[in-house]
Each structure stands twice: as C-alpha cells, then as structure tokens.
Structure 1
Amino acid sequence: MAPQPLTELEIAEALSGLPGWSLQEDRLVREYTLPGHLPAVAMLVHIASVQEELNHHADLSVTYNRLGVSVNTHSVGGKVTELDTQLAIRVEELALSHGAS
C-alpha cells in the first residue's frame, strides 16, 4: 500500500515521542550536536545505512559537529508520512550511541 500523508494530529502524536524533532514546512527536522566533526560524519554514515535498509531517505547536512536531518515523502507531494516517522525513530535510536544531543 502506498504511503499516505499523516494528519496534523498524527504528526503531533509522533512528535510527542521524538524529543528535539519538530515540523517545519511539511518536514520532520532535527539538529544534533556531536563531540566533533568525525562523530558527526560517522553518525551521517550510520543514518545512510538505515536509510538504505528502509529505502527511504532524508536530507542530511553536516556543519563541523552538527548534523541536520530533514525528511518528508516526495511520492505524496512532500508531506509527512509514517515512513518519515519510522526513519526519525530509527535515527533517535542510534543517536545516543554516537554521543549526539
């Protein structure tokens, strides 16, 4: 079944379990701070691996020790779907192992 855009209530419920994440212009976004540049890049590579596993990809950016994650689902017109919340949950799960805050 094709992904469907989440309602505002569904997005709010998902965000309640995703500390630090927010909705900005129809995207789930989060910025992490890491102990240095190499840990930020290592976390980016780990996220890339998870994205390949899920076949769903976020926009990622690194600025020295900060890693930005921004995601929505292009196939539904750039809206937030369950695919995005699943990816955000997976990113949160791996963030601690990278020393991210």
Structure 2
Amino acid sequence: MSSEPLSQKEIEDRLRELPGWAYENDRLVRTYRLGGHAAAGALVAHIVAVQEELNHHSDLTLGYNTVRVSVNTHSAGDSVTDSDFALAERVEALAPSHGVR
C-alpha cells in the first residue's frame, strides 16, 4: 500500500465511495452515533483491533454514544494516503455490526 500523499481529486473521488466520511484539516474524519456508551466503547475496541492488524492508527474520540475517527499518515507529512482509506473502509464495514445509526 502506498504511503504517498493523495491529490485533492483522488481524495474527493474516493470519498464518494465512503458516505459519511469527510476530508477536514488534512484528515479523513467520520463521527458514528450508537445506541449508548457500551456500544460506542465496543466499536472503539473493534477499531483498535483493526488498527493493530493494519499497523495504522487513527485518533479516536469516545463520547457517550458517539465515536469520532480521524486519520492521516504522519510518515507522509500528515497527508491522506491509501493507508488512511484502507482503514476507513475497514471501519465502515464493521460499524453496522455495532448498531451504528
């Protein structure tokens, strides 16, 4: 997987495949709303496991019933790369199993 920064157009094109995700301040971001705190915590734990598997880590913010994911690639000058999209796609695939609204 390339760790080269993606162009603005590449990011915009790929975001079309990830509804709910956005590009803000040189990062891919999404906030998930869940049924309660336990469900949000379980989603965070699941995301952490995926991040360990991919060896690529995001910033996660846990709220009462929300989880915010924010990611870019530090080794690529804090830019968005293929690795960030790979993580976002995996998170997006697992979120429904946690009751994301």
TM over 0.5: yes
Return 5+ residue gaps in structure 1 as ranges. none
Structure-2 residue corresponding to 1:83: 83
1:13 Cα deviation from its structure 2 partner:
1.2
> Secondary structure at 1:93's aligned position in 2?
helix
Aligned identity (percent) is 55
Q: Deviations for 1:34-71, whole angstroms, at most 9, x for unmatched residues?
A: 00000000000000000000000000011100000000
Partners of 2:2 and 2:81 within 8 A in 1 = no
Letter of the structure 1 residue corresponding to residue 13 of structure 2: E
Structure-2 residue corresponding to 1:64: 64
Q: Deviations for 1:68-101, whole angstroms, at most 9, x for unmatched residues?
A: 0000000011000000000000000000000113
Return 5+ residue gaps in structure 2 as ranges. none
TM-score with structure 2 setting the length: 0.97
Letter of the structure 2 residue corresponding to residue 93 of structure 1: A
Looking at structure 1, the residues matched to 87 and 14 of structure 2 have their Cα atoms a distance apart, in angstroms, of: 12
Structure-1 residue corresponding to 2:10: 10
Letter of the structure 1 residue corresponding to residue 94 of structure 2: L
Letter of the structure 2 residue corresponding to residue 87 of structure 1: L
Structure 1 segments, 4+ long, off by >6 Å, are none
TM-score with structure 1 setting the length: 0.97
